[in-house]
Each structure stands twice: as structure tokens, then as C-alpha cells.
């Protein structure tokens, strides 16, 4: 089997497995690539195909529906995923010849049922010949499909932001994000990393509000390089760095990171503390916590103790600082986590909100008098953000807010004193955070 056919087969398998298991796309993709013997170039090709197909699933389904008599979502799931995968290559991957996308899809379709190859061949050849116009915004259902977002998300955003801001957010979520790296200050420096990139002619942009963060155009090359392997660098978006700035951890303190995995913020806290003091890294997922421990070992953090804990129930040690980065809908990180938009439904927001309030109320019990707790999400939704904080402050009169603008640049602070990052404007992941102090 040729690498090109093998790559498409693996990409198709990832799409099918993700939907069957309801697992995170990145987890399934990571496991599949790790067990593959394909070269790095093919793995990059697979990643682009898989993530691109899921990112643009709404538009792909919209276009395919124009060419198929029966309802697209009534097709057998394997068949629909194969059509989406090939359609993505045709519409979005200029490096892939149309004939290659069609012929490989037809070959793979032989694994489905007798009539599948003929259907796949006919639909894809028709797609190549057909120009499908963008729907008018007056037809909101089709317009949302064209922009590859579920309508319920768009409906919510339109009640809060202008049409221009909503379109900017949709475009941001549909773009391929660059990789951000954070320099590990325990044994590396921004100047050294700049020199490393310049010597290799790798384009980059240094984040103006924290010199340790670099957006790198050829992130894959850095990930495969020695400086990542030796622990000089972490992958982290600057939005996570701003949250750590809001926490403002001090050397020698005791810090709880209550929903810590996979550990990006935990590591930055350790660096801010210069490996002095104690960090308890808790999470309820043993597998993700194991990844955190592996990263800590690679990066040389010596003051982190990781343990499995249910933050809603288990006893926690007392601490001067607590970071509570809660599970959430993830609507601020749809560019990076491309499958979230299809896995979430609106009713989950209140479920998340109840869990978040429970986590916050329980974690807050472990904060010492005068201590700081930072509550954060990667959500843009008010139920998970101010809704939780306002409810908490009404129920816990011994807590009050510190304005975020004292610890981060004012442009990231909303009118009420919380950190709020809006991706198209700030050019980083979206999210929300507040700094709470105990009297």
C-alpha cells in the first residue's frame, strides 16, 4: 500500500474512531500517529487532513448535500466521513491533485459496501465540476453551515456582539493556528531562543506582553528539535500565561493547581516560583495527570507533586495560592480544539456552570486568610464566567475581587475587572479569569 493511501486510511480511521468513542479528536489522533510507522511528512499530512475535515465539517456537509439526493446525515457514518475527507482535500488542499483525492477515496470505499465506490466516485467528480455559492445571511441555518459552526453558538454570540465581531470570531475559529512556545526560564532564555530561531531562518513573533512567549511559523520543526526535547521549551498559548500572571505566585509559597492536567500553567507557576516552595497538581483524570508528570520531568520542575483528586469531594491541603482552571465548554479555543464545536450542545452550559460552582466553592475552603484564588475558563459564555463568580461572591462574603488590570495589561480586562480574551482582537486563545482574595 502506498504511503498516500495508507495516510488517508489512517485519517479516515481517526475520524471514525473519534465519533464512535466520543473521545477527544486530539487524543485519538495522538494515539494513532504514535502507533504508525509512517514518516513525519505523512504524519503532518494526516494531521492537516483530520483537523481540517473536522474544522470545515459544516461547510463540507452543506456542499455535499447539494450533490446527494438523500439526506447527508442519513448516510452511513463511515461513508459520510470518507466523503468529507475527500471533499476537504478537493476544496481546501491545493497541494493535493483532485484525481488523487478521488481515486484514494474510491479505493477506500471498497471497504464499506458494494455500491459505495460508485457513489463516492460520482459525488466527488460532481463536486470538482460544481461551484457552490455562499448562502445569503438571511438563511441563517445555511449561513452557519457555510461558516462551519452550529447555529446555537452563532445565535448566542449574535445577542452579545456585532455582526462584524461574530464574523471575525467565526473566521478566527476556522483558521489554522500557529504554535506558541514558552521559554523555560529555569535553564533557557528568550535571547537564546531568538538566536536559535534566527540561525535556522524560522519566522516568529514574540508576544509583546510576555517576552517568554513566541509564535512560531514552523512549529513542527521546533517540536522535532533538540530545544524542545531537552526541556527548554513548552507549548503554551499566551492566554495561559496571563492567567498565571493574575495568580502572581511567589517563591516559597504553597500553591494548589486544582484541575492541572495537562500542566502548561502548572509549569509556568513552577518557573515563576523558581522551583522553590510547593505546588500540588491535582486532577481527576489519571491518564492526563501522567502526561503532566512526564512533562514535569522533561522540563526539570522539582517542586510539583501530582495526585489524583476529585476537587468537588476530596480534602485538599491549605494553600496561599489556588489556581482553578475549570472544565468548560471551550468556546474560546475552537481554533485549536476543532472538534469541540460539534461535541457541545447548548444545554451543557448549565451543566458546566453547576460543576464549576461546585468546584469553586469546595476549592475555596483550602485558601488561607489573605490568600489568592484565580478562577479561569477557556469559555466565552457568561453562564460559565460571570454567572459562576457572581453566584460565588453572593454565597461567600469573605471573598472579594482584585481588579485584573493590576496584574495584566488593561486591554485584557473587561469593565468589571476580569480577564477576558477575545481571540480575533487579542490574537490569542479566548478565555476568562478572575482573581479572588480571601479576607
Q: What is the CATH number of the domain that holds 291?
A: 3.40.50.150
Q: Which residues have a catalytic role annotated?
A: 378
Q: Do 211 and 252 fall into the same domain?
A: no
User: Is the distance from CB of 259 to CB of 232 less than 8 angstroms?
Assistant: no
Report DSSP state, residue 69: S
> How many residues can be counted in the chain?
439
Q: Do 73 and 116 fall into the same domain?
A: yes
Residue 263 lies in a domain: yes
Residue 150 lies in a domain: no
- Say how far apart CA 38 and CA 419 lie, in whole Å: 43
- Say how far apart CA 402 and CA 419 lie, in whole Å: 11
Pinpoint the alpha helices (H) of 366-414. Answer: 386-395
Residue 83 lies in a domain: yes
The residue out of 102, 126, 145 marking a domain boundary is: 145
Sheet holding 179-183, edge to edge: 204-206, 213-216, 179-183, 233-235
The residue out of 235, 267, 302 marking a domain boundary is: 235
Q: Do 343 and 378 fall into the same domain?
A: yes
Strand partners, 374: 323, 435
Residue 53 lies in a domain: yes
Give 15-24 contacts, CB < 8 A, sequence gap 24+. 15/50, 15/53, 15/54, 15/81, 15/84, 15/85, 16/77, 16/78, 16/81, 18/339, 19/77, 19/81, 22/343, 24/337, 24/339
Residue 24 lies in a domain: yes
Terminal CA-CA length for the chain: 67
Q: Write down the pLDDT at residue 220.
A: 85
Strand partners, 307: 282
Q: Do 130 and 190 fall into the same domain?
A: no
User: Is the distance from CB of 302 to CB of 275 less than 8 angstroms?
Assistant: yes
The residue out of 235, 262, 281 marking a domain boundary is: 235
CATH code, 53 = 1.10.940.10
Q: Do 283 and 227 fall into the same domain?
A: no
Q: Do 379 and 410 fall into the same domain?
A: yes
**Beta strand extents in 246-335 (DSSP E only):** 254-257, 278-283, 304-308, 319-325
User: Which pairing describes strands 204-206 and 399-402: parallel, antiparallel, or unpaired?
Assistant: unpaired
Q: Do 269 and 124 fall into the same domain?
A: no
- Say how far apart CA 23 and CA 339 lie, in whole Å: 10
Q: Do 245 and 328 fall into the same domain?
A: yes
CATH code, 202 = 3.30.70.1170
- Say how far apart CA 346 and CA 349 lie, in whole Å: 6
Report DSSP state, residue 159: H
Compute CA 302 distance to the chain's CA centroid, rounded to the nearest angstrom.
27
φ, ψ at 431 (rounded to 5°):
175, 180
User: Is the distance from CB of 250 to CB of 273 less than 8 angstroms?
Assistant: yes
Q: Residue for cell digits 508576544?
A: 207
Q: Do 231 and 112 fall into the same domain?
A: no
Angle at the Cα of 397 from the Cα atoms of 361 and 309, rounded to 5 degrees: 15
Q: Do 262 and 304 fall into the same domain?
A: yes
Residue 154 lies in a domain: no
- Return averaged pLDDT per consecutive 10 residues of the chain, 439 residues in all: 87 96 92 91 94 98 95 93 98 96 96 91 97 93 98 97 97 96 96 96 96 92 92 97 98 96 95 96 92 91 94 96 98 97 97 98 97 98 98 97 96 97 98 97
Residue 155 lies in a domain: no
Q: Do 226 and 304 fall into the same domain?
A: no
Residues of the domain holding 136: 3-145
User: Is the distance from CB of 372 to CB of 434 less than 8 angstroms?
Assistant: no
Q: Do 85 and 109 fall into the same domain?
A: yes
Q: Write down the pLDDT at residue 41.
A: 86
Residue 29 lies in a domain: yes
- The structural domain count of the chain equals 3
**Residue 437 burial (10 A CB sphere; 0-12, 13-18, 19+):** middle
Q: Write down the pLDDT at residue 1.
A: 57
Amino acid at each position: 500500500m502506498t504511503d498516500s493511501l495508507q495516510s488517508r486510511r489512517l485519517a479516515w480511521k481517526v475520524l471514525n474512531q473519534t465519533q464512535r468513542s466520543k473521545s477527544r479528536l486530539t487524543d485519538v489522533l495522538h494515539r494513532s500517529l504514535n502507533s504508525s510507522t509512517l514518516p513525519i511528512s505523512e504524519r503532518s499530512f494526516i494531521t492537516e487532513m483530520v483537523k481540517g475535515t473536522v474544522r470545515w465539517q459544516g461547510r463540507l456537509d452543506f456542499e455535499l448535500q447539494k450533490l446527494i439526493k438523500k439526506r447527508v446525515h442519513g448516510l452511513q457514518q463511515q461513508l459520510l466521513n470518507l466523503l468529507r475527507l475527500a471533499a476537504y482535500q478537493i476544496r481546501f488542499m491545493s497541494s493535493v491533485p483532485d484525481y488523487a483525492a478521488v481515486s484514494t477515496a474510491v479505493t477506500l470505499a471498497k471497504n464499506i459496501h458494494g455500491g459505495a465506490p460508485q457513489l463516492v466516485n460520482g459525488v466527488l467528480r460532481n463536486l470538482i465540476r460544481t461551484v457552490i455559492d455562499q448562502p445569503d445571511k438571511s438563511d441563517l441555518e445555511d449561513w452557519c453551515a457555510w461558516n462551519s459552526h452550529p447555529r446555537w453558538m452563532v445565535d448566542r454570540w449574535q445577542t452579545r456582539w456585532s455582526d462584524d465581531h461574530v464574523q471575525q470570531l467565526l473566521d478566527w475559529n476556522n483558521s489554522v493556528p500557529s504554535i506558541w512556545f514558552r521559554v523555560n526560564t529555569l535553564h533557557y532564555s528568550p535571547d537564546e531562543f531568538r538566536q536559535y530561531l534566527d540561525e535556522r531562518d524560522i519566522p516568529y513573533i514574540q508576544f509583546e506582553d510576555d517576552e517568554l512567549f513566541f509564535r512560531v511559523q514552523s512549529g513542527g520543526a521546533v517540536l522535532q528539535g533538540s530545544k524542545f526535547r531537552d526541556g527548554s521549551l513548552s507549548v503554551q498559548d499566551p492566554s495561559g500565561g496571563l492567567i498565571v500572571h493574575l495568580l502572581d505566585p511567589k517563591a516559597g509559597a504553597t500553591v494548589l493547581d486544582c484541575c492541572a492536567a495537562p500542566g502548561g500553567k502548572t509549569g509556568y507557576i513552577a518557573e515563576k516560583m523558581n522551583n522553590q516552595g510547593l505546588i500540588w497538581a491535582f486532577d481527576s483524570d489519571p491518564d492526563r495527570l501522567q502526561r503532566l508528570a512526564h512533562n514535569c520531568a522533561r522540563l526539570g520542575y522539582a517542586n510539583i507533586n501530582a495526585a489524583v483528586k476529585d476537587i468537588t469531594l476530596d480534602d485538599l491541603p491549605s494553600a496561599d495560592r489556588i489556581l482553578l482552571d475549570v472544565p468548560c465548554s471551550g468556546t474560546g479555543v475552537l481554533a485549536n480544539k476543532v472538534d469541540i464545536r460539534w461535541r457541545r450542545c447548548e444545554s451543557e452550559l448549565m451543566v458546566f456552570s453547576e460543576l464549576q460552582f461546585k468546584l469553586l466553592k469546595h476549592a475555596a475552603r483550602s485558601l488561607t486568610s489573605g490568600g489568592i484564588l484565580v478562577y479561569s475558563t477557556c469559555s466565552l459564555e457568561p453562564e460559565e464566567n460571570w454567572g459562576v463568580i457572581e453566584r460565588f461572591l453572593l454565597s461567600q462574603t469573605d471573598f472579594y475581587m482584585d481588579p485584573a488590570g493590576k496584574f495584566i495589561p488593561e486591554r485584557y480586562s473587561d469593565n468589571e475587572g476580569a480577564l477576558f480574551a477575545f481571540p480575533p482582537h487579542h490574537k490569542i486563545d479566548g478565555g476568562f479569569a478572575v482573581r479572588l482574595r480571601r479576607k
